[in-house]
Amino acid sequence: MCGRYAASFHPEDLVERMEIEADLSAEHTRSILSRPQEPPVGAPDYNMAPTKQAAVVLTRRVEQEPLRQLRMLTWGLVPSWAKDTKTAYRMINARAETLFDKGAYAKAAGARRCLVPASGWYEWQASPTQTDAKGKPRKQPFYTRRADEDLLAFAGLYEFWRDRTLADDDPDAWLVTFTIITTAAEPGLDRIHDRQPVVLDRADWSTWLDPAVTDPDDVRRVLTAQPAGRFEAWPVSTAVSSSRSNGPGLLDPVPRSELHGVVDPETGEILA
């Protein structure tokens, strides 16, 4: 799964890098958080967590012409048929292997695909030798990014949900949410966790965002065409486990001398 990631940029930083034609990131969008988001929406966030609003790139037709847009959407999919917004907490990820088999994702996979910009993502490795105070495997967080340090673009889906309790002219009548697509972890990363987000290379961005691409086989082809070996990963502080923690210090590597019962993702060695 992908349950946390880093987005260490401002929306304006993405306009040129992702060939944005309409920057709508400053527009009002409904939030489902019970308190103001921290860091504020649009600020660099080194610990992006589910139900926060995050930058998402999508293509919508405007006057019959496709327009690549940058928007702030809520992480955690709420299907159009949902009775309330509670599904957002459970639908932060969609499995690539069953995308068109699940009613909550199938229509969006054919018509509402997006890119989720990120600097890197976090995953927790269960130790094969060390346990915590409850006797469960101790979990060591890792940070993964592209080895070339380029921007990541997760494959995602987005959806619209109408709050029937609000008037048509209420700015919060519509909630727009997204989910990140995951796949089986590639060799090396599978020593950290058995799943990883699907990271699309630049050559596939346009195809993924194209609303004219609706055939399931074409969509699956993009998801499975991504090469392995693009990433590097290192252990980071357990501070990232708290959604209240933030800042660039979360990306700092933990010294090898402080690691115990951690599996090196490159070699498979268990650090004593």
Task: Determine the Cα–Cα distance for residues 95 and 98; give it in Å rounded to an integer.
Answer: 6
Q: Which residues pair with 95 in a beta bridge?
A: 182
- Work out whether strand 113-118 and strand 270-271 pair parallel, antiparallel, or are unpaired: unpaired
* Residue of 39, 47, 40 whose CA lies nearest to 26: 40
| Active-site residue list | 2, 123
Instruction: Name the token pair of 207.
Output: 């195809």
